[in-house]
């Protein structure tokens, strides 16, 4: 049994509905990374999403790309905001991954208003992206971000530039925030109209660590019981037209993929509210 596939926006690729979130590889050895590849292959994941800022993630997938040429849709990100800085970071990313182009290059965590304007203005990162696309170094251009304002921000970004994909948080608890839900739904509608891919993150977020000892490599505390992960993953996959980026912890990855393979229907609000109460879910963003 493998994951179902769906069209990844207008990019001509049938991506697994769970994409591999490469932040999980930021601080692991190559041996651990290679064992993770076997997990991905076993479950039929065919889309890798890394970033220049994810530690050694780009380096860790280099052997995967050599071993499995053409197997994966390849996405990475730049955190640079200037044209010059972004182009230099793209060149470094290509070198680290050992490839001559990527399928999707994303402006990473574009939320701060000043950074947003810099990146999307003349001599900004967006000019580097367009030039790289013209040169065949990237095929498509996306934007990512976190926080309660990001759905509204992505709507503005789509008005400023015709992005091919967006990436932002999406889980039951976050969607109970009226402002976020309103803007997420409006963003999703705009993306559906333009055939823009919608990638979601933080599916199994439980709460901020809040001073507790970190037992996972995620910056937030995740759900870790299989039955809880099941509900959280099924709730996300229950919304047509969205992709779920997997968790930033290689040990939890198999649980997320197992849940996704067993998806059949979205849990009810009552089931999700029971999860919130028994697990004491808390918002990551306020």
Tens of pLDDT along 217-259? 898 899 999 999 999 999 999 999 999 999 999 999 999 999 9
Q: Which residues of 99-122 are buried (b: 16+ CB within 10 A; e: fewer)?
A: beebbbbbbbbbbeeebbebbbee
Number of domains in the chain: 1
**pLDDT of 72:** 98
* Residue 194 belongs to a domain: yes
**pLDDT of 4:** 95
**pLDDT of 59:** 98
* Residue 148 belongs to a domain: yes
Which residues are paired to 19 by β-bridges?
245
**pLDDT of 219:** 87
Helix axis angle, 253-261 to 226-237, nearest 10°: 60
Q: Which domain holds residue 111?
A: 5-279
Q: Which two tokens stand for residue 60?
A: 């860790």
pTM reported for the whole predicted model: 0.97
SS3 per residue for the chain: CCCCEEECCCCCCEEECEEEEHHHHCCCCHHHHHHHHHHHHHHCCCEEECCCCCCCHHHHHHHHHHHCCCCCEEEEEECCCEHHHHHHHHHHHHHHHCCCCEEEEEECCCCCHHHHHHHCCCCEHHHHHHHHHHCCCEEEEEEECCCCCHHHHHHHHHHHCCCCEEEEECCCCHHHCHHHHHHHHHHHHHHHHHCCEEEEECCCEEECCCCCCCCCCCCCEECCCHHHHHHHHHHHHCCCCEEEECCCCCCCHHHHHHHHHCCCCCCCHHHHHHHHHHHCCCCCCC
**pLDDT of 2:** 86
* Residue 106 belongs to a domain: yes
* Residue 265 belongs to a domain: yes
**pLDDT of 210:** 82
* Residue 284 belongs to a domain: no
* Residue 285 belongs to a domain: no
* Residue 58 belongs to a domain: yes
**pLDDT of 18:** 98
Domain CATH code at residue 141: 3.20.20.100
Instruction: Please identify which residue in the block is written with the tokens 């037992």.
Output: 215
**pLDDT of 260:** 98
At residue 210, what are phi and psi to the nearest 5 degrees? 50, 50
**pLDDT of 214:** 87
* Residue 11 belongs to a domain: yes
Q: Which residues of the chain have pLDDT under 70?
A: none
């Amino acid at each position: 049994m493998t994951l179902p596939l769906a069209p990844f926006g207008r990019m001509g690729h049938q991506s697994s509905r769970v994409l591999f979130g490469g932040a999980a590889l930021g601080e692991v050895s190559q041996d651990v990374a290679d064992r993770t590849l076997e997990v991905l292959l076993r479950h039929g994941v065919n889309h890798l999403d890394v970033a220049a800022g994810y530690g050694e993630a780009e380096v860790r997938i280099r052997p995967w790309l050599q071993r499995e040429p053409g197997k994966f849709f390849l996405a990475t990100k730049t955190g640079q905001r200037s044209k010059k800085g972004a182009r230099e970071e793209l060149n470094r990313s290509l070198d680290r991954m050992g490839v001559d182009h990527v399928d999707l290059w994303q402006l990473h965590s574009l939320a701060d208003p000043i950074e947003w304007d810099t990146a999307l203005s003349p001599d900004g990162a967006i000019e580097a992206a367009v030039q790289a696309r013209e040169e065949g170094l990237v095929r498509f251009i996306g934007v990512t971000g976190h926080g309660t304002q990001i759905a509204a921000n992505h709507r503005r970004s789509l008005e400023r530039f015709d992005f091919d994909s967006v990436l932002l948080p999406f889980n039951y608890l976050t969607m109970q925030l009226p402002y976020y839900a309103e803007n997420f739904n409006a963003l999703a509608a705009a993306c559906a109209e333009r055939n823009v891919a919608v990638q979601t993150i933080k599916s199994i977020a439980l709460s901020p660590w809040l001073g507790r000892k970190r037992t996972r490599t995620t910056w937030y505390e995740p759900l870790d019981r299989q039955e809880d992960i099941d509900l959280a993953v099924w709730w996300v996959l229950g919304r047509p037209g969205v992709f779920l980026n997997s968790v930033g912890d290689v040990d939890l990855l198999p649980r997320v993929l197992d849940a996704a393979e067993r998806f059949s229907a979205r849990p009810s609000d009552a089931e999700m509210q029971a999860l919130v109460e028994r697990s004491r879910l808390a918002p990551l963003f306020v």
